[in-house]
Structures are given as C-alpha cells and as structure tokens.
Amino acid sequence: MNERPGPVTVDLLIRNAWIVTMDAQRRIYRDGALAIVGDRIHAVGPSAEIEAMVSAREVIDGSRFVLTPGFVNCHVHVTGEPLTRGAVPDDTDWEANVMGWLIPTYQAQTPKEERLSARFAALEMLRTGTTCFIEAGTILDLAAVHDGLAETGIRGRIGQWAQDRAFAPGEDQAALTRQAIDTLQREVERYSCAGDPLLAAWPALVGHATATDDLWRAASELALAHNAGVTAHMSPDPQDPEFYLATTGRRPIAHLAEIGVLGDHVSLTHAIFLDRAEVDLLAATGTHVTHCPMTAMKGAYGASHSGLFPEMAAAGVPIQFGTDGNNNGNAADLMRAMYVTAGLFKDSRRDSSLFSAYDVLECATLNGAAGAQMGHLIGSLEPGKKADFVAHDRDRPEWTPLLNVVNQLVWSADGRGVHSVWVDGRRVVDSYRCTTIDEDAIYAEVEAAAPILLARAGKTVPCRWPVL
Ligand SMILES: [Zn+2]
C-alpha cells in the first residue's frame, strides 16, 4: 500500500503568481507557487503541485505579482553620497566632479551622517528590489554603518575604504601600508562572513592607483581566508592605465594578474579602459567586473564608446551591475542598470544581439550573487536557497498586457513597480512601504541633514534657472 506523505507545514505560500526562477533551466511559471520555511525556499513550481505538497501558516494570492529573485547591487556608495543626491551638476567633467564635489562632501561627513546615509541607501535599494549589495567602501566609521544597517533587514557586504599609496613627499610608505592592512584585517575579523550573516565586511579598496602591491596582496589573502571578496575601482578613465604603464610597465589588469591577486573573489568596478589582453586575463582568472552604466552616462566615462563589455561577455567575464554613488546616476535602482545596459551596446554597436533582456537579468541576479560570493545562497528561486525575492506589481500599465515577462521586466518596468520584498524570509517591503525603516522619519532626517552637510563642505547647489 502506498501511503502519500502528509503535507509539510511551511510558513508562507505565495500561489498563482508569475515566477521567474533563474534556476539552471531558467524555468518561468505563469501560475506558480513559492513555499518558504524560515529563511529558506522550501519549494517552487506550478501552484497545483506545490499546494498539494504543503500546508501553509500564511497564504498570499500572488495573482497580482511577478516574483523574481532579489537583485544584487555590486557597487554602491552607501556613505558619501546618499545625503547629497543630485547635488552634482551633470555638466561637470571628471576632475570637477571628483575633486570639486565628491571629495569635499565625503570629507565633510560625520559618523552620524554615515549611519543615516547607509540606512537611507538601504531603504532605496529595498524599495526598488535590491536585496543584497556590495558597498564601495565606508569613508569614516564602519561600526556606524553596520549599526545603521543592522535593523533594516538588507543583506550586504560592507567595508572600510582602504588605500595606502604615499603620494605626498615625506610620507612613510611602510607605515601607510601597515595601517591600511591592519584596518582591513580588523574589520573582516570583526564582521566575519563565517556562517553567512546578513551583514559582513570585505576588504574594500578605493583602487585606481591608490593601492600598493602589498596592500593588494593582503586584501586578496584576507578575502580568501575569510570567505569574503575584494572590491576596488579600476580604469573608469585612461588615468589608471597610464599610471600602471608608467610605474610597472604593464596595464592594470596585467599587473594585478602578475602579482597574483585576481580571481573570482575579486570585483573590479568600471573596467572601461581595458585592452583585449586584459579582457582575456579577467576571463581566465574568473575576475568579476561591475558595470555601472548610469555613472558612465552621467559622468561621460565612455562605456558605450570605449568599453569592451560585449567582448567581456563573449569571453565569459562575469559581468554584474552597480549603481555607484547617488551623484553618479543619482539613483540606486538596479532595474535601471538592467534597462540601460540592455540598450547601450545595442545602440552604440548597432547590434541588437548584445545584452538581451535575458542576459541583463542574469547579470543582476545570478552574476551579482556569484560576485557577492553568495552564489550558493541567493540569485535564484530554488529549494534550499535563501528566501530573498521581489514581488513586482502587475496592476500597473507597464505590466499590461503581460506577454513576455522578461522583456517587460527589463524594458517596461522599473523599481517603482516593486510592491513587496522579502530578505531572508522576512517581508521588508509590504505594499510599497518598508517595514523595517520609518520612511516618513528618515525622509525628514535626510532633508534636514543635506543642507547642513553641503554647507560644511562649502558647496552650494547650482541651478541654471531661477528658483523662486
Ligand atoms: Zn564607486
């Protein structure tokens, strides 16, 4: 006699939803169900099949939703810019942008402002469907950032920004390097990745020309020893290749390969001014590239003109997305990064086969998860993985009629249509409101903090037209 096993009790069942799983077969269910136990996905599949398997404590009718994995933002400045969003005009060149605006506002911050800034960044990401992020680097106080993020429910990898190269005459290079390595070591030990916590620290290098080989080696070794990764900026502009060629005789990627620090634990942000040999080295080492298309557009970096992103994709370089700072692209909505990338190279190369909607969705989910060193935990909706997912609201014009769910996710929808979000099985956005951050309170706090911070930095925000 065959006895069917009784139903498994699950905490949450969402049924009758479109589900884009991003599993190995890229299965999409048009009437799908997702069952959650605790922080994990228990089952996903056709509604009728899953409903027969489980008994749920809470059932949500998902007929209004398209469920996708949470997006992974692999380069975001959670401090420094969220409090000064949009202050930097879009007609400043690189020098004026970085030296005239970003550095003064970075330097004027306080740890209290960094804490607020990080919480605000988390709010923007969660509300637009990003469930996991890699921080570019905290400027002042990682403890303040960690503390601010702890209750938001977001998953992330944070890190104290480190650099060590002595540029001014008389600086003690050995002391600078020792201090930078000590900082990285202290933070990766204090906020360890062990046990896959929601928040943990990585070695976060400023990158460019600011890190010596010793610091690069230490960052790489620390990351490998602590199940972490290394994040750094590289080659957004010809200055980095020029510096490396002048000082090492090799281009940046060739030099980093030579000293043995590349690998799939490393994410390099921007990577626009590369040559073909550098692309091959990135592919051979499995090094991740974080493409920040909105930064490239607002800052006139030349990603579509000079970048080898289609060549990287063809060579197998894992490309993931970032939104960078809130003055570089001005928004932390990763769905915009998918949309922009899907269009940039089609247009600049006159080749519609480049970066399809399917490709960019992989970049924003699976590739991002792998870059965050969490490919085994997140990035797809499969049994055993963490319950990090987004419910996109179909009761909106951009989803009507629903004919090709991936095409519409990338080309029609954006983060403003995110209705609800779960991270680690916890509903952190419900009906367009964050459940973990008091939105009214934080908007008021940020509105009040911005002019004070800008005044301290000595900046007034220009407007070409009269504001009366
Ligand atoms: Zn950046």
- CATH number of the domain enclosing 394: 2.30.40.10
Q: Residue 396 C-alpha to ligand 1 middle, in angstroms? A: 33
Residues 353 and 224 in one domain: yes
Q: Residue 2 C-alpha to ligand 1 middle, in angstroms? A: 60
Q: Residue 203 C-alpha to ligand 1 middle, in angstroms? A: 15
pLDDT recorded at residue 1 = 46
Q: Residue 229 C-alpha to ligand 1 middle, in angstroms? A: 16
- Is 90 exceeded by the pLDDT of residue 2? no
pLDDT recorded at residue 4 = 60
Residues 85 and 204 in one domain: yes
Q: Residue 163 C-alpha to ligand 1 middle, in angstroms? A: 14
Beta strands in 80-197 (DSSP E): 130-135, 155-158, 161-162
For the chain, the C-alpha Rg in angstroms (whole number) is 22
Residues 246 and 353 in one domain: yes
* pLDDT tens digits, one per residue of 333-361: 999 999 999 999 999 999 999 999 999 99
Query: Residue holding tokens 């089609």?
Result: 346
Q: What's the domain range around 355?
A: 71-371
Q: Residue 13 C-alpha to ligand 1 middle, in angstroms? A: 39
Q: Residue 388 C-alpha to ligand 1 middle, in angstroms? A: 25
Residues 402 and 356 in one domain: no
In angstroms, the CA 144 to CA 320 distance is 28
Give ∠ CA 233-234-238 in degrees, rounded to 5: 135
- Is 70 exceeded by the pLDDT of residue 89? yes
Q: Residue 272 C-alpha to ligand 1 middle, in angstroms? A: 13
- Is 60 exceeded by the pLDDT of residue 375? yes
Q: Residue 146 C-alpha to ligand 1 middle, in angstroms? A: 19
Q: What is the pLDDT of the chain when averaged over all its residues? A: 97
Judged by average pLDDT, the poorest of 56-70, 82-96, 108-122, 447-461 is 82-96
Whether residue 248 lies inside any domain: the answer is yes
Q: Residue 75 C-alpha to ligand 1 middle, in angstroms? A: 6
* pLDDT tens digits, one per residue of 381-415: 999 999 999 999 999 999 999 999 999 999 999 99
Whether residue 282 lies inside any domain: the answer is yes
Cα–Cα separations (whole angstroms), residue 179 to 164, 183, 388: 8, 6, 37
Cite the DSSP H helix spans in 226-356. Answer: 239-248, 252-258, 276-285, 293-298, 303-306, 309-315, 334-349
pLDDT recorded at residue 288 = 98
Q: Residue 174 C-alpha to ligand 1 middle, in angstroms? A: 26
CATH number for the domain spanning 232: value is 3.20.20.140
Give the residue-averaged pLDDT of 127-155.
97
In angstroms, the CA 263 to CA 285 distance is 5
In angstroms, the CA 164 to CA 188 distance is 18
Yes or no: say if 147 and 119 are a contact pair by the CB < 8 Å rule: no
Cα–Cα separations (whole angstroms), residue 286 to 262, 266, 356: 8, 8, 22
Q: Residue 427 C-alpha to ligand 1 middle, in angstroms? A: 29
Q: Residue 38 C-alpha to ligand 1 middle, in angstroms? A: 35
Q: Residue 65 C-alpha to ligand 1 middle, in angstroms? A: 33
Whether residue 266 lies inside any domain: the answer is yes
Residues 90 and 37 in one domain: no
In angstroms, the CA 354 to CA 343 distance is 8
Q: Residue 324 C-alpha to ligand 1 middle, in angstroms? A: 5
Q: Is residue 451 helix, strand or coil?
A: helix
Burial 287-313 (b: 16+ CB within 10 A, else e): bbbbbbbbbbbbbebebbeebbbbebb
Give the residue-averaged pLDDT of 295-310.
96
Q: Residue 464 C-alpha to ligand 1 middle, in angstroms? A: 27
Residues 275 and 139 in one domain: yes
Q: Residue 14 C-alpha to ligand 1 middle, in angstroms? A: 37
Whether residue 244 lies inside any domain: the answer is yes
Residues 237 and 126 in one domain: yes
The percentage of the chain sitting over the pLDDT mark of 90, rounded to a whole number, equals: 96
In angstroms, the CA 337 to CA 23 distance is 22
pLDDT recorded at residue 3 = 56
Q: Residue 192 C-alpha to ligand 1 middle, in angstroms? A: 23
In angstroms, the CA 44 to CA 443 distance is 37
Whether residue 463 lies inside any domain: the answer is no
Residues 22 and 53 in one domain: yes
Residues 233 and 136 in one domain: yes
The token pair that represents 218 in the structure block: 């230490």
Q: Residue 11 C-alpha to ligand 1 middle, in angstroms? A: 39
Q: Residue 270 C-alpha to ligand 1 middle, in angstroms? A: 8
Residues 44 and 167 in one domain: no
Q: Residue 137 C-alpha to ligand 1 middle, in angstroms? A: 8
Cross-strand partners of 426: 423
Task: Quote the number of domains for the chain.
Answer: 2
The pLDDT confidence band at residue 316, using thresholds 50, 70 and 90, is: very high
Residues 280 and 133 in one domain: yes
Q: Which residues surround ligand 1, an ion (CB under 5 A)?
A: 136, 324
Give the residue-averaged pLDDT of 443-463.
96
Q: Residue 294 C-alpha to ligand 1 middle, in angstroms? A: 12
Q: Residue 136 C-alpha to ligand 1 middle, in angstroms? A: 6
Q: Residue 76 C-alpha to ligand 1 middle, in angstroms? A: 7
Give the residue-averaged pLDDT of 147-156.
97
Q: Residue 233 C-alpha to ligand 1 middle, in angstroms? A: 6
Whether residue 323 lies inside any domain: the answer is yes
Whether residue 468 lies inside any domain: the answer is no
Whether residue 406 lies inside any domain: the answer is yes
367 DSSP assignment: I
Q: Residue 419 C-alpha to ligand 1 middle, in angstroms? A: 28
Q: Residue 49 C-alpha to ligand 1 middle, in angstroms? A: 45
Q: Residue 204 C-alpha to ligand 1 middle, in angstroms? A: 11
Tell me the residue length of the chain.
468
The pLDDT confidence band at residue 5, using thresholds 50, 70 and 90, is: low
Residues 366 and 388 in one domain: no
